[in-house]
Amino acid sequence: MERAKTIARVSMLVVIFVGFLLSGLLINAIQLVLWLTVRPFNRWLYRKINVHLLATLWSQVLILMDWSGSMCTIHTDDATWFKLGQENALILMNHSNELDWLVGWIMADQVNILGNAKLFIKKAVEWIPIIGWAWKFGEIGFLERNWEKDKSTMDSFVKNIKEYEDPVWLLFFPEGTRFTAEKHAVSMEFATKTGMPHMKHLLMPRTKGFHAITQQLRGKFDAVYSTTLCFNTKLGAFPTLMNIFCGKPVFGEIFLERIPFDDIPTEADESSQWLLDSFYEKDKLMDNYEKEGMFPQSQGKYFQGPARTHCRPRSPWPAIFYASWYYFTIPLIWNNLVVGITTQGIFVLLVIFTAVILFMLKLIEITTISRGSSYGGKNDQKNK
C-alpha cells in the first residue's frame, strides 16, 4: 500500500514537471518574441503582457506548495494587510533557509502582485532554462556579489523599476547569503571586531547595498515591509525543496511591519544603523518564535492595532489553467511517444524524462544551503 502511494506521488510529480517544462518553454518563447518585437518600441506594453506571463509561470511553481499541503501566513495589523499589493514596496527579508524566495512568491501571490515581484539573485542562475530565462525577460537583477561589478547592475535595475506604472515589490535579502553555522561564526567574528552586538539567528546585514538601493528608490517606493520569516517545524516538515517534492507540508509564518519609506534615513551611517537595528529586532522575534512557537501579538512600532494572522487563499484559476494544459499535453505525449512504441518515440520520451530529472536536481542544487555563496572569504571581507 505504501509502495503504491509512493509510485503515485512520483508519477504525479513527474506529470507536474513535464507540464511545467512544456509550458515554461512556451512562455520563454513568447517572452523572447516580445523582447525582440515589442520591448524596443513600447516597454509599457511589453511589461503589461509579461507580468501575466510571469504570474502564470510562477503560479505553477506554487502548485507544488498546494500539492504538498504547505501554507504560509502573514502576521500583521489589519491596516497593513489591506495595503499589501496596492503600493510599491521594498520587502526586507531574512535569508535563513532555501525556501525563503518561494515564501516571498507565496506572499506576493496572496496579494495579487506575483508577476511584479522582483529580486536580486546570483548571476549563475541567469541562463538556467525556464526560471533563469523568465527572470532575465522579467528584468530582475543578477548579481556577482562583487560591489564594484554589482553597483552598475543595481543602477540599471532601479532605472527600469522606476518606469513601472503598476505596483512592484522588490524582495531584498540584506544578509546576501543563506544562514549556516559556519557563515554565522564568521559573521559574529566580524561583529566582535567591529564592536557590534551578536545575533543568534541571523548574519550581519550588508549595509552598503541597502543604502544604495534605498537612495535610488526614494520618491518612487511608498514603504518598506520589514518581514521576519520563521517555519513551524513542529507541525510541518523541515523547510527544504526536497521535502516539498516528497509531498511533505511546510508551514511558514511571516511577521510583517509596514514602515513608510521616508522614515528610512538618507545618510549612509544612519541608514546602516537603521538596518542593523532592524535585524536586531528580527533576531529577537525569531528567538521569541523559537521559545513560544508564535510571534507576539503586538510589537511593531508602526502597527495600527493588534497583529493578527492573515492568509488569503490562492486563486483556483492557476490550477484550472494547468489542469486544462495537462489534459491536452500529457495525452498527446503519451499517444505519440508511448502507444506507438517506436524507437524514435522511446528516445524522445527518455529525453523528456531525463530533462525533468535534471531540472529537478538543478532546482534543488541552486536552492540548497550548502551551495550558497561564501561568507567571510577574501572577496567578502574586501566588499565589507
pLDDT digits (tens, 9 = 90+) for 73-122: 999 999 999 999 999 999 999 988 878 888 888 889 888 899 999 988 88
Closest Cα to residue 249, out of 44, 53, 71, 4?
A: 71
Which cell numbers in the block locate residue 9? 506521488
- Distance CA(149)–CA(2), nearest Å, equals 52
State the chain's maximal CA–CA distance in angstroms. Answer: 71
Strands, sheet with 89-92, edge to edge from the N-terminal-most edge strand: 141-143, 117-122, 169-172, 89-92, 223-231, 251-260, 71-77, 307-310
Instruction: State percent of the chain over pLDDT 70.
Output: 82
Q: How confident is the model at residue 304 (pLDDT cuts 50, 70, 90)?
A: confident
Q: What is the mean pLDDT of the chain?
A: 81
Question: Which secondary-structure segment (H or E) carries 75?
Answer: strand 71-77
Closest Cα to residue 17, out of 371, 358, 365?
A: 358
- Distance CA(170)–CA(197), nearest Å, equals 28
CB 227 within 8 A of CB 198: no
Helix/strand/coil for 220: coil
The rounded radius of gyration (Å) of the Cα atoms in the chain is: 22
CB 68 within 8 A of CB 247: yes
Helix/strand/coil for 74: strand
Q: Which amino acid makes up residue 29?
A: A
- Distance CA(249)–CA(239), nearest Å, equals 9
Determine what percent of the chain falls in helix, strand and coil, rounding each to the nearest 5: 55, 15, 30
- Distance CA(16)–CA(326), nearest Å, equals 8
- Distance CA(250)–CA(229), nearest Å, equals 13
Instruction: Count the domains in the chain.
Output: 1
Q: Which domain holds residue 47?
A: 2-319+358-383
Q: How confident is the model at residue 333 (pLDDT cuts 50, 70, 90)?
A: low
Determine the straight-line distance between the first and last CA of the chain, rounded to whole angstroms. Answer: 56
Instruction: State percent of the chain over pLDDT 90.
Output: 30
Within a domain: residue 253? Answer: yes
- Helices (DSSP H) in 225-342: which residue ranges? 241-245, 268-292, 317-334
- Distance CA(170)–CA(150), nearest Å, equals 16
Residue of higher predicted confidence among 48 and 304: 48
Question: Which residues, 6+ apart, have CB-to-CB distance to 117 below 8 Å?
Answer: 58, 104, 105, 108, 169, 171
- Distance CA(101)–CA(119), nearest Å, equals 9
Within a domain: residue 249? Answer: yes
Within a domain: residue 334? Answer: no
Question: Which residues, 6+ apart, have CB-to-CB distance to 373 below 8 Å?
Answer: 122, 145, 176, 177
Closest Cα to residue 207, out of 193, 185, 191?
A: 191
pLDDT at position 131? 85
Within a domain: residue 324? Answer: no
Within a domain: residue 351? Answer: no
- Distance CA(72)–CA(104), nearest Å, equals 10
Q: How confident is the model at residue 33 (pLDDT cuts 50, 70, 90)?
A: very high
- Distance CA(54)–CA(11), nearest Å, equals 26
Within a domain: residue 327? Answer: no
Alpha carbon 39 to its chain centroid, in Å, reads 25
Q: Which of 186-190, 272-276, 325-329, 358-362 has the lowest mean pLDDT?
A: 358-362
Average pLDDT over residues 226-243: 89
Q: Is the pLDDT of residue 152 over 50?
A: yes
- Helices (DSSP H) in 169-316: which residue ranges? 181-194, 207-217, 241-245, 268-292
pTM for this structure?
Answer: 0.85
Alpha carbon 45 to its chain centroid, in Å, reads 25
Within a domain: residue 348? Answer: no
Residue 9: C-alpha distances to residues 318, 325, 332 (Å):
20, 20, 22
Within a domain: residue 254? Answer: yes
